[in-house]
């Protein structure tokens, strides 16, 4: 069995630790780029897009000539080239459009050098049709998770995305049946995603193990390959949640133009995250029947855990919702509260993390967050939890407010030290967690 252990403090070395065949490690750049261009064309990439890729790859070739004795590919040179462009290997940075483009193009070249193909992006994978046999395996597994395991909806969706990536990987390597999966297939698949954060990679491998158990149980594969999936070590609590300063949260909310329909919607969404700590998935799926106006309460079955959570419908949040529903929400028979601001006026898609909303107002308010901090909607949830902790609210109560199934998740916030945070956005006594 191949065991692959990743730790967060060795993140930069992950790509260099990937096993590469001798022919790949000494491949010339000119030959690699020529074959890469042909592969892009075979995948149907537009001529202009291919030209953009070639331009960056030629810049990389010139960099290699100036910084290496040999014009050969290596992941170390890729890291050096990205650093020379001001691109960090951190999970998230304040990059320009060009920097993001360079990073994506170089990741594509690395994928091709190491694995002979380009990894499809997640949103492309979701839209790409699987073969009939692979599609049946996926739909059968999804049904098994829902009907036999009673997995929460969020878990089913997450695992479906992960398994779809795996099945597309098999297809791109000319593996037409799950019966052809071997131990080496699993190790190569995991190494192809070695650029992910350890926690994300651990979730991916967990999904693969679950899928393999299902395949073996149903007789779709002869051998139980679960033990052949590389193990990913993630140190519990190593990641410190990203939190905002109180003044930055105030500036974020103040940046919203609440006179426009879109602004009314965005303000209500941000308040649900800032004041109540709701997850993006629960904000996105909020329905009219979840708003208990007479009881001044919001009741939801959480998307992630399917657990019931009741939160106070505070005056501030309630007024923002009323303002949006009366004067900002497009006319629609849809039962979900929040709709897209432009036609067609439909609810947000299940993969929409609303990142563009928080980014729009963060930039408008000129808020500068530390480079290493996460900047998505979930960081506002982290901030509320940290405020409650600073206000000496018991961990058990915070766990209930956050809707955590395990207290271990809540204990992570004890590592955060952001000084004296003055206000607590929500009265803990008004929260019930079933």
- Output the domain CATH number for residue 332: 1.10.443.10
Q: According to the model, what pLDDT value does residue 19 have?
A: 41
Same domain, 325 and 255: yes
Q: According to the model, what pLDDT value does residue 5 have?
A: 35
Give catalytic status of residue 304 as yes or no. Answer: yes
- Output the domain CATH number for residue 184: 1.10.150.130
Same domain, 176 and 312: no
Same domain, 255 and 202: no
Quote the Cα angle for 146-217-159, to 5°: 40
What the block records as the tokens of 340 is 């897209």
Same domain, 328 and 423: yes
Report pLDDT digits (tens) over 233-279. Answer: 876 555 666 788 889 999 999 999 999 999 999 999 999 999 988 98
DSSP state of 15: G
Q: According to the model, what pLDDT value does residue 40 have?
A: 85
Report pLDDT digits (tens) over 153-204. Answer: 878 888 999 999 899 888 878 888 999 999 999 998 998 887 677 888 899 9
Give catalytic status of residue 362 as yes or no. Answer: no
Residue 285 falls within a domain, yes or no? yes
Report pLDDT digits (tens) over 356-366. Answer: 899 899 999 99
Phi-psi region of 419 (alpha: psi -120 to 50; beta: other; left: phi over 0): left
The active-site residue out of 103, 195, 387, 404 is: 404
Same domain, 281 and 379: yes
Residue 309 falls within a domain, yes or no? yes
Same domain, 281 and 428: yes
**Phi and psi (nearest 5°) for 346?**
-115, 165
Closest CA to 285 of 274, 273, 296, 301: 301
Q: According to the model, what pLDDT value does residue 412 have?
A: 57
Give catalytic status of residue 378 as yes or no. Answer: yes
Which residues, at least 6 apart from 362, have a Cβ–Cβ distance to it below 8 Å?
Answer: 252, 255, 369, 375
The active-site residue out of 362, 381, 382, 387 is: 381
- Please tell me whether residue 291 adopts helix, strand or coil conformation: strand
* Domain final residue, candidates 61, 83, 115: 115
The active-site residue out of 120, 160, 165, 378 is: 378
The active-site residue out of 279, 329, 382, 433 is: 279
Same domain, 30 and 62: yes
Q: According to the model, what pLDDT value does residue 424 have?
A: 38
Range of the domain at 166: 123-228
Q: According to the model, what pLDDT value does residue 231 have?
A: 87
pTM for the model stands at 0.57
Same domain, 96 and 36: yes
Q: According to the model, what pLDDT value does residue 99 have?
A: 85
CA distances from 163 to 95, 121, 141, 430 (A): 30, 14, 9, 40
* Domain final residue, candidates 198, 228, 258: 228
Give catalytic status of residue 39 as yes or no. Answer: no
The active-site residue out of 101, 258, 304, 336 is: 304
What the block records as the tokens of 312 is 């106070």
Q: According to the model, what pLDDT value does residue 232 have?
A: 85
The residue with greater pLDDT, 94 or 11, is: 94
E strand intervals along 39-120: none
pLDDT at 50 over 80: yes
Same domain, 100 and 172: no
**Alpha-carbon distance 240 to 180, whole Å?**
41
The residue with greater pLDDT, 337 or 415, is: 337
CA distances from 363 to 97, 178, 255, 262, 286 (A): 15, 47, 9, 17, 27
The active-site residue out of 141, 169, 413, 433 is: 413
Percent of the chain with pLDDT over 90: 35
Same domain, 106 and 36: yes
Residue 207 falls within a domain, yes or no? yes
The residue with greater pLDDT, 396 or 188, is: 188
Same domain, 268 and 395: yes
The residue with greater pLDDT, 212 or 121, is: 212
Give catalytic status of residue 279 as yes or no. Answer: yes
Same domain, 195 and 297: no
* Domain final residue, candidates 166, 194, 228: 228
Q: How many independent structural domains does the chain possess?
A: 3
Residue 235 falls within a domain, yes or no? no
Residue 81 falls within a domain, yes or no? yes
The residue with greater pLDDT, 379 or 413, is: 379
């Amino acid at each position: 069995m191949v065991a692959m252990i990743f730790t967060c403090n060795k993140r930069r070395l992950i790509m260099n630790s990937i096993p590469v065949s001798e022919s790949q490690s000494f491949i010339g750049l000119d030959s690699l780029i020529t074959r890469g261009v042909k592969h892009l064309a075979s995948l149907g990439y537009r001529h202009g897009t291919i030209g953009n890729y070639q331009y960056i790859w030629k810049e990389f070739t010139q960099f290699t000539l100036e910084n290496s004795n040999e014009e050969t590919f290596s992941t170390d040179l890729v890291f050096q080239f990205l650093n020379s462009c001001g691109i960090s290997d951190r999970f998230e940075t304040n990059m320009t459009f060009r920097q993001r483009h360079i990073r994506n193009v170089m990741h594509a070249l690395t994928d091709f050098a190491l694995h002979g193909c380009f990894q499809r992006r997640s949103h492309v994978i979701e839209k790409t049709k699987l073969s009939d046999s692979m599609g049946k395996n996926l739909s059968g597994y999804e049904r098994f998770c829902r009907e036999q395991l009673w997995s929460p909806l969020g878990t089913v969706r997450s695992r479906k995305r992960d398994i779809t990536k795996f099945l597309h990987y098999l297809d791109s390597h000319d593996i037409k049946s799950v019966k052809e999966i071997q131990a080496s297939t699993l190790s190569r698949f995991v190494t192809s995603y070695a650029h992910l954060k350890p926690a994300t990679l651990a979730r991916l491998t967990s999904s693969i193990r679950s899928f393999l158990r299902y395949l073996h149980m149903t007789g779709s594969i002869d051998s139980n390959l679960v033990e052949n999936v590389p193990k990913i070590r993630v140190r519990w609590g190593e990641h410190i949640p990203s939190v905002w300063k109180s003044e930055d949260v105030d500036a974020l909310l103040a940046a919203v133009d609440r006179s426009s329909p879109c602004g009314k919607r965005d303000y209500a969404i941000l308040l649900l995250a800032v004041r109540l700590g709701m997850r993006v998935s629960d904000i996105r799926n909020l329905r009219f029947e979840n708003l208990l106006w007479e009881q001044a309460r919001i009741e939801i079955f959480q998307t992630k855990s399917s657990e019931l959570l009741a939160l106070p419908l505070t005056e501030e949040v309630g007024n923002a919702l009323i303002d949006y529903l009366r004067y900002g929400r497009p006319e629609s028979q849809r039962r979900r509260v929040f709709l897209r601001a432009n036609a067609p006026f439909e609810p947000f898609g299940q993969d929409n993390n609303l990142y563009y909303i928080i980014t729009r107002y963060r930039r408008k308010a000129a808020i500068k967050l530390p480079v290493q901090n996460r900047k998505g909607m979930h960081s506002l949830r982290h901030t509320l939890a940290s405020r409650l902790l600073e206000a000496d609210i018991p961990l058990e109560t915070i766990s209930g407010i956050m809707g955590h199934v395990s207290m271990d998740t809540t204990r992570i916030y004890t590592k955060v030290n952001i000084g004296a945070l003055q206000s607590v956005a929500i009265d803990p006594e008004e929260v019930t967690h079933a």
